Amino acid sequence: MNPSKGTLILTNASEIVTLKSKDSMPKFRMSGHELSLIKNGSLIIQNGRISDILDHPFSESHFPTSEPTTLVDVTNKTVIPGLVDSHTHLSFAGDREDELEKKLQGVTYLEILKQGGGIMRTVKATRKATVNELIRRGKENADIMLKHGTTTIEAKSGYGLDKENEIKQLTAFNKLNEVCASSIVPTYLGAHAIPPEYSDQREKYIDLILQEAIPEISKGRLAKFIDVFCEKEVFSIDESREILLAGKNAGLRPKIHADEIVRTGGAQLAAEVEAISADHLLRTDDDGFNALADVGVIPVLLPGTTLSLMNNEYPRARRMIDEFDLPVALATDLNPNCFCFSMLQIMTLACFNMKMTPEEALLASTINSAAAIGLHENIGSIEVGKQADLVIINAPNYKHIPYKFGSASLVDMVIKNGKVVASNTPALIKTTM
């Protein structure tokens, strides 16, 4: 989305949570940012970027006269950075709502997958969809996420599997950047499952990924990252290593679905291939956490997945933070098994079920999540010069966010690149010239 022209001013916020970096720490680390709350302050936004942060209300008599200015009164409201959802499977065809009943009867995720359900069912539907259908579905999802305050979304392919259909999914993600208010960051996840036509010749499918898909995706600049579902009965450690390294050599930074259902050593592999993030980590042990900390791999935790897998076991966020000082990030994992649109909901799960504090949950959903997709220099905190991606929360302080869960009106306004892209209270906006 193009940056807005003119000046946008937010005045008299009950609280601005800038999450600015401490000078002495690496910028994205959990301990490297502090809340840095500004009471009754104002933000000045010019050409889509934050140009000033004031610790007092803005007076209308100081309106610049040379350019159009929009003033938004945010009295009694909280301003936070736009939320970053660093792990989603944004666009696919079909739904799997009926699998909920199977899960209630005790059929496990891997059993459903083996029966041809789960990922395979979504693959079948997605292969039949046109690129325009995937754009439409992706936009529908992204627009709902925007209303929940998410301004940047990482999007994984993985429901096409063969080269043509993976490229179709990635093409849709790239196109979504032109038609959505939010930014979409594409990831190639061809190694999400072995497609049915290769079920007896997995080496051939891996060859296709290595020899055909990766070179073409890299050449067309269709993805920024490469990901693998490294899991028992899905892709082994050795297969994952080969795929991630081939992607890395072609300019795609590795990410990995690691230790989600069974501990296979995915965290250690993430460190070995210098992945930008390792995601899920439900079964990871201290050796795995150590490996992540050594190399600076960001753990992306997905408590919505645990909720939808119904196994009540959450990643050990407290241990990762307290013992290993890991810069924990959060994401929804939006997919047909875990159809969660809202980072706000994820923050609630992180606090209630992983015992993260509201402060940690907010850091994990903004700056750390931005770092998990390599964008922390541009988004994820409110600092002069950064892109003006902001959410105005209908509450006097940030602690209301995880506390008031399930509310449709917690998000009052969303600003992307300096432009108001979603708003519940137009009456509060005044425009000059």
Using rule CB under 6 A, residue 137 touches ligand NIG: no
The one of ligand NIG, Fe ion, none whose footprint includes residue 305, by CB under 5 to 8 A per kind, is: ligand NIG
In the complex, least distance from residue 295 CB atom to Fe ion, rounded to whole angstroms: 21
Q: Can you tell me the distance from the alpha carbon of 344 to that of 406, in angstroms, rounded to the nearest whole number?
A: 8
Q: Which residue is nearest to Fe ion (CB)?
A: 333
Using rule CB under 6 A, residue 365 touches ligand NIG: no
Using rule CB under 6 A, residue 394 touches ligand NIG: no
In the complex, least distance from residue 270 CB atom to Fe ion, rounded to whole angstroms: 14
Using rule CB under 6 A, residue 141 touches ligand NIG: no
In the complex, least distance from residue 109 CB atom to ligand NIG, rounded to whole angstroms: 7
Span 163-192, contacts to ligand NIG by CB under 6 A? none
In this complex, which beta carbon is closest to Fe ion, that of residue 85 or of residue 333? Answer: 333
In this complex, which beta carbon is closest to ligand NIG, that of residue 119 or of residue 382? Answer: 119
The one of ligand NIG, Fe ion, none whose footprint includes residue 314, by CB under 5 to 8 A per kind, is: none
Which residue from 7, 18, 182, 337 is in contact with ligand NIG, where contact means CB under 6 A? Answer: 337
The one of Fe ion, ligand NIG, none whose footprint includes residue 122, by CB under 5 to 8 A per kind, is: ligand NIG
Q: Do 206 and 242 meet the contact criterion of CB atoms below 8 Å apart?
A: yes
Q: Which residue is nearest to ligand NIG (CB)?
A: 337
In this complex, which beta carbon is closest to Fe ion, that of residue 10 or of residue 302? Answer: 302
The one of ligand NIG, Fe ion, none whose footprint includes residue 320, by CB under 5 to 8 A per kind, is: none
The one of Fe ion, ligand NIG, none whose footprint includes residue 395, by CB under 5 to 8 A per kind, is: none
Using rule CB under 6 A, residue 335 touches ligand NIG: yes
In this complex, which beta carbon is closest to ligand NIG, that of residue 354 or of residue 410? Answer: 354
Using rule CB under 6 A, residue 333 touches ligand NIG: yes
Using rule CB under 6 A, residue 257 touches ligand NIG: yes
Using rule CB under 6 A, residue 126 touches ligand NIG: no
Q: Can you tell me the distance from the alpha carbon of 204 to that of 194, in angstroms, rounded to the nearest whole number?
A: 10
In the complex, least distance from residue 42 CB atom to ligand NIG, rounded to whole angstroms: 40
Using rule CB under 6 A, residue 122 touches ligand NIG: yes
The tokens of 140 are what?
Answer: 């529908």
Span 317-346, contacts to Fe ion by CB under 5 A? 333
The one of Fe ion, ligand NIG, none whose footprint includes residue 336, by CB under 5 to 8 A per kind, is: ligand NIG
Q: How many residues of this chain bind Fe ion (CB under 5 A)?
A: 1
Using rule CB under 6 A, residue 340 touches ligand NIG: no
**β-strands 15-17, 37-38 pairing:** antiparallel
Span 51-90, contacts to ligand NIG by CB under 6 A? 89
Q: Can you tell me the distance from the alpha carbon of 192 to that of 199, in angstroms, rounded to the nearest whole number?
A: 13
Q: Can you tell me the distance from the alpha carbon of 429 to that of 410, in angstroms, rounded to the nearest whole number?
A: 18
In the complex, least distance from residue 308 CB atom to ligand NIG, rounded to whole angstroms: 8
The one of Fe ion, ligand NIG, none whose footprint includes residue 315, by CB under 5 to 8 A per kind, is: none
Q: What is the 3-state secondary structure (H, E, C) of the chain?
A: CCCCCCEEEEEEECEEECCCECCCCCCCCHHHECCCEECCEEEEEECCEEEEEECCCCCHHHCCCCCCEEEEECCCCEEEECEEECCCCCCCCCCCCCHHHHHHCCCCHHHHHHCCCCHHHHHHHHHHCCHHHHHHHHHHHHHHHHHCCEEEEEEECCCCCCHHHHHHHHHHHHHHHHHCCCEEEEEEEEECCCCHHHCCCHHHHHHHHHHHHHHHHHHCCCCCEEEEEECCCCECHHHHHHHHHHHHHCCCEEEEEECCCCCCCHHHHHHHCCCCEEEECCCCCHHHHHHHHHHCCEEEECHHHHHHHCCCCCCCHHHHHHCCCCCCEECCCCECCECCCCHHHHHHHHHHHHCCCHHHHHHHHCHHHHHCCCCCCCCCCCCCCCECCEEEECCCCCCHHHHCCCCCCCEEEEEECCEEEEECCHHHEEECC
In the complex, least distance from residue 12 CB atom to ligand NIG, rounded to whole angstroms: 42
The one of Fe ion, ligand NIG, none whose footprint includes residue 260, by CB under 5 to 8 A per kind, is: ligand NIG
Q: Do 24 and 39 meet the contact criterion of CB atoms below 8 Å apart?
A: no
In this complex, which beta carbon is closest to ligand NIG, that of residue 55 or of residue 313? Answer: 313
Residues 6+ apart with CB under 8 A from 284: 258, 259, 263, 266, 267, 278, 315, 316
The one of ligand NIG, Fe ion, none whose footprint includes residue 154, by CB under 5 to 8 A per kind, is: none
Binding site for Fe ion (CB under 5 A): 333
Binding site for ligand NIG (CB under 6 A): 89, 118-119, 122, 229, 257, 260, 305, 333, 335-337
